[in-house]
Amino acid sequence: MTFTELGAQFGSVALSASMAVAAGLVGCFAVMRRMTLAADAMSHVALPGIGVALLLHISPLIGALVMLFLGTLLIWALEIKTRISTETVVGVVFTLALAVGSFLASGEELIDALFGAPGKLTGLEIGFGLIGAAIVIVLILWLKNALIVSLVSPDIASTSGINVIALDLTYLLAFALTIALGIRFLGVLLMGSLIIIPAVTARRLATDLTTMLSLSVAVAVISTMAGLYLGSLLQRETGPLIVSAAGAIFVLSLLKKQPA
Amino acid sequence: MQAGAVLQPPAYALEVDHLTIRFGTTEIFRDLSFKVPLGSSLVVIGPNGGGKTVLFRALIGSLPYEGSIRWAPGTRLGYVPQKLDIERSLPVTGNDLLRAKAAITKTPGKMLLTALDRVGLDMGALNTPIGALSGGQFQEVLLAFALIGDPNVLLLDEPTAGVDAPGRESFYRLIQKLQQETGLTAIVISHDLSVVARSATNVLCLSRSDSCFGPPKTILDPELLGRMYGMPLGFHFHDIH
Protein backbone atom coordinates (compact mmCIF):
# COMPACT_ATOMS: atom_id res chain seq x y z
CA MET A 1 0.00 0.00 0.00
CA THR A 2 1.43 3.43 -1.01
CA PHE A 3 1.68 6.38 1.36
CA THR A 4 -1.13 8.19 -0.49
CA GLU A 5 -3.43 5.17 -0.29
CA LEU A 6 -2.69 4.82 3.41
CA GLY A 7 -3.48 8.53 3.90
CA ALA A 8 -6.76 8.19 1.99
CA GLN A 9 -7.74 5.16 4.05
CA PHE A 10 -6.90 6.96 7.29
CA GLY A 11 -8.90 9.99 6.10
CA SER A 12 -11.84 7.77 5.31
CA VAL A 13 -11.80 6.09 8.76
CA ALA A 14 -11.33 9.41 10.61
CA LEU A 15 -14.15 10.96 8.61
CA SER A 16 -16.59 8.12 9.22
CA ALA A 17 -15.75 8.04 12.95
CA SER A 18 -16.29 11.79 13.34
CA MET A 19 -19.51 11.57 11.31
CA ALA A 20 -20.70 8.80 13.65
CA VAL A 21 -19.89 10.86 16.77
CA ALA A 22 -21.85 13.81 15.36
CA ALA A 23 -24.79 11.54 14.44
CA GLY A 24 -24.80 9.92 17.88
CA LEU A 25 -24.92 13.29 19.66
CA VAL A 26 -27.50 14.96 17.39
CA GLY A 27 -29.68 11.83 17.48
CA CYS A 28 -30.06 11.89 21.28
CA PHE A 29 -31.89 15.19 21.21
CA ALA A 30 -33.90 14.23 18.11
CA VAL A 31 -35.15 11.14 19.96
CA MET A 32 -35.90 13.03 23.18
CA ARG A 33 -37.67 15.79 21.23
CA ARG A 34 -39.79 13.07 19.56
CA MET A 35 -38.44 13.97 16.13
CA THR A 36 -37.59 10.42 15.07
CA LEU A 37 -39.82 10.36 12.00
CA ALA A 38 -38.92 13.94 11.21
CA ALA A 39 -35.26 12.92 11.23
CA ASP A 40 -35.77 10.36 8.51
CA ALA A 41 -37.98 12.67 6.54
CA MET A 42 -35.63 15.62 6.79
CA SER A 43 -32.86 13.64 5.16
CA HIS A 44 -34.90 13.63 1.93
CA VAL A 45 -34.86 17.41 1.80
CA ALA A 46 -31.31 17.12 0.38
CA LEU A 47 -32.55 15.30 -2.74
CA PRO A 48 -33.61 18.26 -4.93
CA GLY A 49 -30.27 19.92 -4.12
CA ILE A 50 -28.41 16.81 -5.26
CA GLY A 51 -30.53 16.74 -8.42
CA VAL A 52 -29.78 20.37 -9.28
CA ALA A 53 -26.05 19.90 -8.51
CA LEU A 54 -25.89 16.90 -10.87
CA LEU A 55 -27.61 18.94 -13.61
CA LEU A 56 -25.14 21.79 -13.12
CA HIS A 57 -22.15 19.39 -12.89
CA ILE A 58 -21.10 20.59 -9.45
CA SER A 59 -20.46 18.51 -6.33
CA PRO A 60 -23.72 16.90 -5.08
CA LEU A 61 -22.52 17.72 -1.57
CA ILE A 62 -22.79 21.46 -2.23
CA GLY A 63 -26.26 21.06 -3.71
CA ALA A 64 -27.36 18.96 -0.75
CA LEU A 65 -25.95 21.44 1.76
CA VAL A 66 -27.70 24.42 0.17
CA MET A 67 -31.00 22.57 -0.02
CA LEU A 68 -30.76 21.28 3.56
CA PHE A 69 -30.00 24.81 4.77
CA LEU A 70 -32.96 26.28 2.88
CA GLY A 71 -35.23 23.38 3.88
CA THR A 72 -34.32 23.83 7.54
CA LEU A 73 -35.07 27.56 7.42
CA LEU A 74 -38.39 26.81 5.72
CA ILE A 75 -39.34 24.16 8.32
CA TRP A 76 -38.36 26.45 11.19
CA ALA A 77 -40.24 29.45 9.78
CA LEU A 78 -43.37 27.39 9.03
CA GLU A 79 -43.31 25.97 12.54
CA ILE A 80 -43.17 29.42 14.14
CA LYS A 81 -45.67 30.97 11.75
CA THR A 82 -48.26 28.19 11.75
CA ARG A 83 -47.57 26.66 15.22
CA ILE A 84 -47.81 23.22 13.58
CA SER A 85 -45.46 20.65 15.16
CA THR A 86 -42.00 20.08 13.62
CA GLU A 87 -42.97 16.53 12.73
CA THR A 88 -45.96 17.65 10.64
CA VAL A 89 -44.15 20.52 8.93
CA VAL A 90 -41.19 18.28 8.07
CA GLY A 91 -43.64 15.72 6.67
CA VAL A 92 -45.05 18.28 4.24
CA VAL A 93 -41.68 19.73 3.19
CA PHE A 94 -40.10 16.28 2.79
CA THR A 95 -42.73 14.85 0.45
CA LEU A 96 -42.41 17.93 -1.72
CA ALA A 97 -38.62 17.60 -1.68
CA LEU A 98 -38.82 13.91 -2.56
CA ALA A 99 -41.13 14.66 -5.48
CA VAL A 100 -38.89 17.43 -6.85
CA GLY A 101 -35.72 15.41 -6.14
CA SER A 102 -36.85 12.29 -7.96
CA PHE A 103 -37.89 14.48 -10.88
CA LEU A 104 -34.46 16.15 -11.10
CA ALA A 105 -32.18 13.17 -10.37
CA SER A 106 -32.68 9.81 -11.93
CA GLY A 107 -31.48 6.22 -12.12
CA GLU A 108 -28.09 5.43 -10.64
CA GLU A 109 -27.48 8.97 -9.43
CA LEU A 110 -30.61 8.84 -7.35
CA ILE A 111 -29.68 5.46 -5.88
CA ASP A 112 -26.23 6.84 -4.99
CA ALA A 113 -27.79 9.87 -3.33
CA LEU A 114 -30.21 7.72 -1.36
CA PHE A 115 -27.88 4.93 -0.30
CA GLY A 116 -24.35 6.37 -0.66
CA ALA A 117 -21.79 6.03 -3.41
CA PRO A 118 -18.74 3.78 -3.30
CA GLY A 119 -15.35 5.04 -4.47
CA LYS A 120 -12.47 7.16 -3.26
CA LEU A 121 -13.07 10.32 -1.28
CA THR A 122 -12.02 13.68 -2.71
CA GLY A 123 -10.05 16.24 -0.69
CA LEU A 124 -13.16 18.46 -0.59
CA GLU A 125 -15.24 15.65 0.86
CA ILE A 126 -12.70 14.81 3.57
CA GLY A 127 -12.17 18.49 4.45
CA PHE A 128 -15.88 19.28 4.57
CA GLY A 129 -16.63 16.11 6.52
CA LEU A 130 -14.04 16.69 9.23
CA ILE A 131 -14.85 20.40 9.67
CA GLY A 132 -18.62 19.78 9.54
CA ALA A 133 -18.45 16.99 12.12
CA ALA A 134 -16.31 19.14 14.42
CA ILE A 135 -18.84 21.99 14.16
CA VAL A 136 -21.77 19.68 15.00
CA ILE A 137 -19.95 18.01 17.93
CA VAL A 138 -18.88 21.34 19.46
CA LEU A 139 -22.35 22.87 18.93
CA ILE A 140 -24.24 20.00 20.54
CA LEU A 141 -21.88 19.72 23.52
CA TRP A 142 -22.04 23.51 23.97
CA LEU A 143 -25.84 23.62 23.69
CA LYS A 144 -26.68 20.42 25.56
CA ASN A 145 -27.68 22.21 28.77
CA ALA A 146 -29.97 24.63 26.97
CA LEU A 147 -31.42 21.78 24.87
CA ILE A 148 -32.22 19.74 27.97
CA VAL A 149 -33.92 22.61 29.78
CA SER A 150 -35.93 23.57 26.69
CA LEU A 151 -36.92 19.92 26.23
CA VAL A 152 -38.36 19.75 29.76
CA SER A 153 -40.21 23.06 29.36
CA PRO A 154 -39.72 25.92 26.87
CA ASP A 155 -41.11 28.31 29.50
CA ILE A 156 -38.53 27.48 32.18
CA ALA A 157 -35.94 27.71 29.40
CA SER A 158 -36.93 31.26 28.48
CA THR A 159 -36.96 32.37 32.15
CA SER A 160 -33.46 30.87 32.44
CA GLY A 161 -32.26 33.29 29.74
CA ILE A 162 -32.42 30.87 26.79
CA ASN A 163 -33.65 32.16 23.42
CA VAL A 164 -35.75 29.11 22.60
CA ILE A 165 -36.52 30.11 19.00
CA ALA A 166 -32.83 30.66 18.17
CA LEU A 167 -31.94 27.42 19.98
CA ASP A 168 -34.46 25.45 17.87
CA LEU A 169 -33.03 26.89 14.65
CA THR A 170 -29.43 26.15 15.69
CA TYR A 171 -30.36 22.57 16.56
CA LEU A 172 -32.20 22.03 13.25
CA LEU A 173 -29.19 23.42 11.35
CA ALA A 174 -26.82 21.09 13.24
CA PHE A 175 -29.20 18.26 12.38
CA ALA A 176 -29.22 19.22 8.68
CA LEU A 177 -25.42 19.48 8.63
CA THR A 178 -25.17 15.99 10.14
CA ILE A 179 -27.39 14.62 7.36
CA ALA A 180 -25.10 16.27 4.80
CA LEU A 181 -22.07 14.64 6.47
CA GLY A 182 -23.44 11.19 5.76
CA ILE A 183 -24.41 11.69 2.13
CA ARG A 184 -21.14 10.28 0.81
CA PHE A 185 -21.02 7.13 2.94
CA LEU A 186 -24.60 6.29 3.69
CA GLY A 187 -26.70 8.39 1.38
CA VAL A 188 -29.44 10.65 2.68
CA LEU A 189 -31.84 7.80 3.36
CA LEU A 190 -29.55 5.72 5.56
CA MET A 191 -28.01 8.73 7.35
CA GLY A 192 -31.37 9.37 9.02
CA SER A 193 -31.12 5.84 10.43
CA LEU A 194 -27.60 6.36 11.79
CA ILE A 195 -28.85 9.43 13.62
CA ILE A 196 -31.88 7.69 15.10
CA ILE A 197 -31.00 4.01 15.78
CA PRO A 198 -27.99 4.56 18.12
CA ALA A 199 -29.89 7.25 20.04
CA VAL A 200 -32.99 5.06 20.43
CA THR A 201 -30.76 2.22 21.66
CA ALA A 202 -29.05 4.54 24.16
CA ARG A 203 -32.40 5.88 25.36
CA ARG A 204 -33.49 2.34 26.23
CA LEU A 205 -30.33 1.62 28.20
CA ALA A 206 -29.53 4.94 29.93
CA THR A 207 -31.12 6.59 32.96
CA ASP A 208 -29.18 9.85 32.80
CA LEU A 209 -28.09 12.26 30.10
CA THR A 210 -24.31 11.68 30.15
CA THR A 211 -24.79 7.91 29.84
CA MET A 212 -27.27 8.38 26.99
CA LEU A 213 -24.93 10.68 25.03
CA SER A 214 -21.93 8.35 25.59
CA LEU A 215 -23.84 5.17 24.67
CA SER A 216 -25.36 6.75 21.57
CA VAL A 217 -21.92 7.88 20.35
CA ALA A 218 -20.45 4.44 21.14
CA VAL A 219 -23.19 2.58 19.22
CA ALA A 220 -22.87 4.94 16.23
CA VAL A 221 -19.05 4.61 16.09
CA ILE A 222 -19.04 0.81 16.60
CA SER A 223 -21.71 0.34 13.89
CA THR A 224 -19.83 2.58 11.46
CA MET A 225 -16.50 0.82 12.04
CA ALA A 226 -18.15 -2.59 11.79
CA GLY A 227 -19.85 -1.54 8.54
CA LEU A 228 -16.57 -0.25 7.06
CA TYR A 229 -14.71 -3.43 8.03
CA LEU A 230 -17.41 -5.78 6.75
CA GLY A 231 -17.76 -3.70 3.57
CA SER A 232 -14.08 -4.10 2.70
CA LEU A 233 -14.15 -7.77 3.72
CA LEU A 234 -17.23 -8.65 1.68
CA GLN A 235 -16.56 -6.11 -1.10
CA ARG A 236 -20.03 -4.62 -0.56
CA GLU A 237 -21.28 -1.06 -0.06
CA THR A 238 -20.78 0.11 3.48
CA GLY A 239 -24.01 2.12 4.01
CA PRO A 240 -26.48 -0.76 4.42
CA LEU A 241 -23.92 -2.69 6.52
CA ILE A 242 -23.47 0.27 8.92
CA VAL A 243 -27.20 0.63 9.42
CA SER A 244 -27.64 -3.16 9.77
CA ALA A 245 -24.95 -3.21 12.49
CA ALA A 246 -26.73 -0.40 14.35
CA GLY A 247 -30.02 -2.29 13.96
CA ALA A 248 -28.44 -5.46 15.39
CA ILE A 249 -27.23 -3.56 18.49
CA PHE A 250 -30.73 -2.08 18.90
CA VAL A 251 -32.25 -5.58 18.78
CA LEU A 252 -29.79 -6.66 21.48
CA SER A 253 -30.85 -3.67 23.61
CA LEU A 254 -34.41 -5.03 23.59
CA LEU A 255 -33.18 -7.74 25.97
CA LYS A 256 -33.10 -5.10 28.70
CA LYS A 257 -36.45 -4.81 30.42
CA GLN A 258 -37.87 -1.30 30.62
CA PRO A 259 -39.13 -0.08 34.03
CA ALA A 260 -42.91 -0.42 34.36
CA MET B 1 -29.71 62.64 36.07
CA GLN B 2 -29.10 65.78 38.20
CA ALA B 3 -26.03 65.97 40.43
CA GLY B 4 -26.83 65.06 44.01
CA ALA B 5 -30.00 63.19 43.10
CA VAL B 6 -30.63 60.22 45.37
CA LEU B 7 -31.46 56.94 43.65
CA GLN B 8 -34.67 55.58 45.11
CA PRO B 9 -34.94 51.80 45.06
CA PRO B 10 -38.03 50.70 43.13
CA ALA B 11 -41.05 50.06 45.32
CA TYR B 12 -42.59 47.50 43.00
CA ALA B 13 -41.21 44.27 41.62
CA LEU B 14 -43.82 44.34 38.84
CA GLU B 15 -46.17 46.95 37.38
CA VAL B 16 -48.81 45.83 34.88
CA ASP B 17 -50.82 48.53 33.07
CA HIS B 18 -53.82 48.08 30.79
CA LEU B 19 -52.75 44.58 29.76
CA THR B 20 -54.85 42.96 27.06
CA ILE B 21 -54.21 39.53 25.55
CA ARG B 22 -55.96 38.06 22.52
CA PHE B 23 -55.66 34.73 20.75
CA GLY B 24 -56.89 35.58 17.26
CA THR B 25 -60.30 37.11 17.77
CA THR B 26 -60.76 35.66 21.29
CA GLU B 27 -59.97 38.10 24.07
CA ILE B 28 -58.52 36.29 27.11
CA PHE B 29 -58.65 39.42 29.30
CA ARG B 30 -58.58 43.17 28.73
CA ASP B 31 -57.31 46.27 30.48
CA LEU B 32 -55.76 44.42 33.42
CA SER B 33 -53.75 46.63 35.81
CA PHE B 34 -52.03 45.73 39.09
CA LYS B 35 -48.78 46.27 41.01
CA VAL B 36 -46.73 43.83 43.05
CA PRO B 37 -44.70 45.46 45.88
CA LEU B 38 -41.16 44.17 46.38
CA GLY B 39 -40.99 41.23 48.77
CA SER B 40 -44.77 40.69 48.77
CA SER B 41 -46.88 37.70 47.69
CA LEU B 42 -49.46 37.97 44.95
CA VAL B 43 -51.75 34.99 44.56
CA VAL B 44 -53.67 34.68 41.29
CA ILE B 45 -56.96 32.79 41.51
CA GLY B 46 -59.93 32.25 39.24
CA PRO B 47 -61.93 29.59 37.43
CA ASN B 48 -60.34 27.38 34.76
CA GLY B 49 -60.00 29.21 31.47
CA GLY B 50 -59.82 32.59 33.22
CA GLY B 51 -56.37 33.32 31.78
CA LYS B 52 -54.09 32.72 34.78
CA THR B 53 -51.44 30.70 32.93
CA VAL B 54 -51.80 32.99 29.90
CA LEU B 55 -50.99 35.94 32.20
CA PHE B 56 -47.87 34.13 33.46
CA ARG B 57 -46.72 33.32 29.96
CA ALA B 58 -47.09 37.00 29.04
CA LEU B 59 -45.17 37.99 32.19
CA ILE B 60 -42.22 35.81 31.16
CA GLY B 61 -42.30 37.18 27.61
CA SER B 62 -43.57 34.01 25.89
CA LEU B 63 -46.76 35.62 24.52
CA PRO B 64 -47.48 38.84 22.64
CA TYR B 65 -49.68 41.40 24.46
CA GLU B 66 -51.01 44.96 24.41
CA GLY B 67 -50.39 47.35 27.32
CA SER B 68 -47.28 47.32 29.49
CA ILE B 69 -45.47 44.88 31.78
CA ARG B 70 -42.63 46.50 33.74
CA TRP B 71 -40.31 44.44 35.93
CA ALA B 72 -38.07 46.33 38.39
CA PRO B 73 -34.52 46.82 37.05
CA GLY B 74 -32.31 43.85 37.95
CA THR B 75 -35.21 41.39 38.20
CA ARG B 76 -34.11 37.75 38.04
CA LEU B 77 -37.03 35.40 37.49
CA GLY B 78 -37.40 31.87 38.83
CA TYR B 79 -40.32 30.00 37.29
CA VAL B 80 -42.03 26.83 38.50
CA PRO B 81 -44.45 25.74 35.77
CA GLN B 82 -47.73 23.85 36.03
CA LYS B 83 -47.44 20.07 36.27
CA LEU B 84 -45.30 18.93 33.32
CA ASP B 85 -45.98 15.78 31.35
CA ILE B 86 -42.60 14.03 31.29
CA GLU B 87 -42.13 10.52 29.87
CA ARG B 88 -41.20 8.04 32.61
CA SER B 89 -38.23 6.68 30.68
CA LEU B 90 -36.70 10.02 29.64
CA PRO B 91 -33.03 9.62 30.62
CA VAL B 92 -32.75 13.00 32.33
CA THR B 93 -32.26 13.09 36.10
CA GLY B 94 -32.88 15.95 38.55
CA ASN B 95 -29.12 16.24 38.70
CA ASP B 96 -28.89 16.72 34.90
CA LEU B 97 -31.58 19.41 34.98
CA LEU B 98 -30.12 21.34 37.93
CA ARG B 99 -26.56 21.18 36.60
CA ALA B 100 -27.83 22.40 33.21
CA LYS B 101 -29.40 25.48 34.87
CA ALA B 102 -26.26 26.09 36.93
CA ALA B 103 -24.14 25.96 33.75
CA ILE B 104 -26.50 28.28 31.84
CA THR B 105 -26.64 30.86 34.67
CA LYS B 106 -22.91 30.37 35.46
CA THR B 107 -23.82 29.53 39.06
CA PRO B 108 -20.92 28.15 41.11
CA GLY B 109 -21.29 24.65 42.61
CA LYS B 110 -21.58 26.11 46.13
CA MET B 111 -24.68 28.12 45.18
CA LEU B 112 -26.18 25.00 43.60
CA LEU B 113 -25.82 23.20 46.92
CA THR B 114 -27.45 26.17 48.71
CA ALA B 115 -30.48 25.89 46.40
CA LEU B 116 -30.71 22.15 47.09
CA ASP B 117 -30.34 22.71 50.82
CA ARG B 118 -33.09 25.36 50.87
CA VAL B 119 -35.54 23.02 49.19
CA GLY B 120 -34.40 20.06 51.31
CA LEU B 121 -34.29 17.83 48.27
CA ASP B 122 -33.59 14.15 48.87
CA MET B 123 -30.26 13.27 47.23
CA GLY B 124 -31.69 9.92 46.04
CA ALA B 125 -34.31 11.82 44.07
CA LEU B 126 -31.57 13.74 42.29
CA ASN B 127 -30.26 10.61 40.58
CA THR B 128 -33.71 9.37 39.53
CA PRO B 129 -35.05 10.14 36.03
CA ILE B 130 -37.40 13.12 36.45
CA GLY B 131 -40.27 11.25 34.79
CA ALA B 132 -40.12 8.60 37.52
CA LEU B 133 -40.26 11.06 40.46
CA SER B 134 -43.43 11.51 42.52
CA GLY B 135 -45.43 14.71 41.93
CA GLY B 136 -44.08 16.29 45.14
CA GLN B 137 -40.46 15.34 44.45
CA PHE B 138 -40.61 16.69 40.90
CA GLN B 139 -42.06 19.99 42.12
CA GLU B 140 -39.16 20.22 44.60
CA VAL B 141 -36.70 19.67 41.74
CA LEU B 142 -38.45 22.40 39.74
CA LEU B 143 -38.35 24.74 42.76
CA ALA B 144 -34.62 24.05 43.26
CA PHE B 145 -34.21 24.68 39.51
CA ALA B 146 -36.02 28.02 39.86
CA LEU B 147 -33.83 29.02 42.83
CA ILE B 148 -30.54 28.47 40.95
CA GLY B 149 -29.29 31.81 39.62
CA ASP B 150 -30.39 33.65 42.77
CA PRO B 151 -33.80 34.91 41.59
CA ASN B 152 -35.50 37.82 43.32
CA VAL B 153 -38.94 37.01 41.92
CA LEU B 154 -40.53 33.55 41.95
CA LEU B 155 -43.40 32.74 39.58
CA LEU B 156 -45.24 29.59 40.66
CA ASP B 157 -47.99 28.20 38.41
CA GLU B 158 -50.13 25.82 40.50
CA PRO B 159 -46.93 24.39 41.95
CA THR B 160 -48.75 21.86 44.13
CA ALA B 161 -51.23 20.45 41.61
CA GLY B 162 -51.27 16.68 42.11
CA VAL B 163 -49.46 16.92 45.46
CA ASP B 164 -51.13 15.62 48.66
CA ALA B 165 -52.29 17.98 51.46
CA PRO B 166 -49.20 17.62 53.73
CA GLY B 167 -46.97 18.09 50.65
CA ARG B 168 -48.88 21.26 49.75
CA GLU B 169 -48.54 22.64 53.28
CA SER B 170 -44.81 22.04 53.45
CA PHE B 171 -44.32 23.50 49.94
CA TYR B 172 -46.01 26.79 50.86
CA ARG B 173 -44.24 26.93 54.23
CA LEU B 174 -40.98 26.60 52.31
CA ILE B 175 -41.91 29.50 50.02
CA GLN B 176 -42.77 31.68 53.04
CA LYS B 177 -39.48 30.77 54.71
CA LEU B 178 -37.58 31.65 51.52
CA GLN B 179 -39.35 34.99 51.37
CA GLN B 180 -38.44 35.75 54.98
CA GLU B 181 -34.80 34.75 54.44
CA THR B 182 -34.16 36.34 51.06
CA GLY B 183 -36.87 38.98 50.66
CA LEU B 184 -37.96 37.60 47.32
CA THR B 185 -41.27 38.45 45.70
CA ALA B 186 -43.65 35.54 45.01
CA ILE B 187 -46.38 35.47 42.36
CA VAL B 188 -48.40 32.28 42.67
CA ILE B 189 -51.32 30.74 40.80
CA SER B 190 -53.32 28.58 43.20
CA HIS B 191 -56.74 27.01 43.46
CA ASP B 192 -56.32 26.48 47.19
CA LEU B 193 -58.17 29.42 48.77
CA SER B 194 -56.97 28.57 52.29
CA VAL B 195 -53.36 28.88 51.11
CA VAL B 196 -54.33 32.17 49.49
CA ALA B 197 -55.77 33.50 52.74
CA ARG B 198 -52.70 32.52 54.74
CA SER B 199 -49.89 33.62 52.47
CA ALA B 200 -51.11 36.34 50.08
CA THR B 201 -50.33 40.04 50.45
CA ASN B 202 -52.66 40.68 47.51
CA VAL B 203 -55.00 38.55 45.44
CA LEU B 204 -55.74 38.88 41.73
CA CYS B 205 -58.87 37.07 40.60
CA LEU B 206 -59.23 36.45 36.87
CA SER B 207 -62.33 35.14 35.16
CA ARG B 208 -63.54 35.25 31.56
CA SER B 209 -65.81 38.20 32.21
CA ASP B 210 -64.09 40.22 34.92
CA SER B 211 -61.05 40.68 37.16
CA CYS B 212 -60.51 42.02 40.65
CA PHE B 213 -57.40 42.88 42.68
CA GLY B 214 -56.86 43.67 46.35
CA PRO B 215 -55.91 42.27 49.77
CA PRO B 216 -57.26 38.80 50.68
CA LYS B 217 -59.85 40.22 53.10
CA THR B 218 -61.50 42.17 50.27
CA ILE B 219 -61.22 39.57 47.51
CA LEU B 220 -62.06 36.43 49.49
CA ASP B 221 -65.61 37.60 49.95
CA PRO B 222 -68.09 34.77 49.26
CA GLU B 223 -70.35 37.04 47.25
CA LEU B 224 -67.52 38.43 45.09
CA LEU B 225 -65.98 34.97 44.61
CA GLY B 226 -69.38 33.54 43.68
CA ARG B 227 -69.71 36.19 41.00
CA MET B 228 -66.19 35.59 39.65
CA TYR B 229 -66.50 31.78 39.60
CA GLY B 230 -70.10 31.87 38.35
CA MET B 231 -71.28 29.69 41.26
CA PRO B 232 -71.49 29.99 45.05
CA LEU B 233 -68.27 29.07 46.89
CA GLY B 234 -68.39 27.84 50.49
CA PHE B 235 -65.22 29.65 51.53
CA HIS B 236 -65.11 32.05 54.46
CA PHE B 237 -62.02 34.10 55.19
CA HIS B 238 -62.75 33.90 58.92
CA ASP B 239 -62.43 30.09 58.76
CA ILE B 240 -58.69 30.59 58.43
CA HIS B 241 -57.99 33.38 60.95
Nearest by CB to A152, which of B91, B97, B105?
A: B97
- A-chain CB neighbours of B129 within 8 Å are 207-208
Distance to chain A for B236, nearest Cα, Å: 35
CATH no. for residue A96? 1.10.3470.10
- Judge whether A177 lies within some domain: yes
CA distance B233 to chain A (A): 32
User: Distance (Å, rounded) from C-alpha B147 to C-alpha A148?
Assistant: 18
pLDDT band at A29 (very low <50, low <70, confident <90, very high): very high
Domain count for chain A = 1
Using a CB-CB distance cutoff of 8 angstroms, which residues of chain A are in contact with residue B90?
32
Q: Does A167 map to a domain?
A: yes
Which residues of chain B neighbour A259 with C-beta distances below 8 Å?
A: 88-89, 132
Q: Is residue A146 part of a domain?
A: yes
The pLDDT, as a whole number, for residue B125 is 83
Task: Look at residue A160 and tell me whether its pLDDT is greater than 70.
Answer: yes
Q: What is the pLDDT of residue B118?
A: 80
Cross-chain Cβ contact A156/B77 below 8 Å: no
Q: Which residues contact A176 (CB under 8 A, 6 or more apart)?
A: A42, A45, A68, A69, A71, A72
A78 close contact with B: CB closer than 8 A: no
- Does A58 fall in a domain? yes
Chain A residue closest in CA terms to B156: A156
Q: How many cross-chain Cβ pairs, A to B, lie less than 8 Å apart?
A: 82
Sheet harboring B12-23: ordered strands across?
A: B26-37, B12-23, B66-71
Between chains, do A152 and B130 touch, taking CB under 8 Å as contact? yes
Q: Is residue A123 within 8 Å of A70, Cβ to Cβ?
A: no
A174 found inside a domain = yes
A159 vs B145: CB contact, 8 Å cut-off? Answer: no
**Amino acid B111: pLDDT:** 79
A217 in a structural domain: no
Contact B96 A148 (CB under 8 A): yes
Residue B168 to residue A141: CA distance in whole angstroms: 38
Instruction: Read off the pLDDT band of A92 (50, 70, 90).
Output: confident
The Cα of B63 is separated from the nearest Cα of chain A by a number of Å equal to: 10
Contact A155 B57 (CB under 8 A): yes
pLDDT at A138 exceeding the cut of 90: yes
Residue A158 included in any domain: yes
Cα dihedral angle (A149, A197, B133, B183), rounded to 10 degrees?
A: -10
pLDDT of residue A59: 77
CA-based nearest distance A217→chain B, Å: 15
8 Å CB contact of B92 and A149: no
Q: Is the pLDDT of residue A4 over 80?
A: no
A180: confidence class by pLDDT, cuts 50, 70, 90: confident
Closest CA to A217 of A239, A246, A191, A240: A246
Q: Is the ipTM of this complex over 0.95?
A: no
Each residue's pLDDT tens digit in chain B (241 positions)?
444 456 666 799 999 999 999 888 888 888 899 999 999 999 998 888 888 989 999 999 888 899 999 999 989 999 998 878 888 888 999 999 999 999 999 988 787 788 788 887 778 888 999 998 888 888 889 989 999 988 999 999 988 777 777 777 778 888 888 888 888 999 999 887 777 777 889 999 888 778 889 888 888 877 777 777 777 766 555 544 4
pLDDT recorded at residue A9: 72
Of the candidates A32, A149, A259, which has its C-beta nearest B88's C-beta?
A: A259
What one-character DSSP code corresponds to residue B44? Answer: E
The dihedral of CA B72, B177, B86, A22: what is its sign? Answer: positive
Contact assignment for B104 to A148 by CB distance below 8 Å: no
Judging contacts by C-beta atoms under 8 Å, the chain B residues touching residue A209 are 91-93, 96
What is the predicted pLDDT for the residue at B58?
92
Higher-scoring residue by pLDDT: A252, B139 = A252
Judge whether A32 is closer than 8 Å to chain B, CB to CB. Answer: yes
What is the distance between the alpha carbons of residues A130 and A140, in angstroms, rounded to a whole number? 16
More confident residue, B220 or A170: A170
Q: What's the CA gap between A58 and A39, in Å, rounded?
A: 26
Is there a contact between B104 and A149 if contact means CB atoms under 8 Å apart? yes
Residues of the domain holding A40: 25-187
**Residue A231 domain-assigned (yes or no):** no
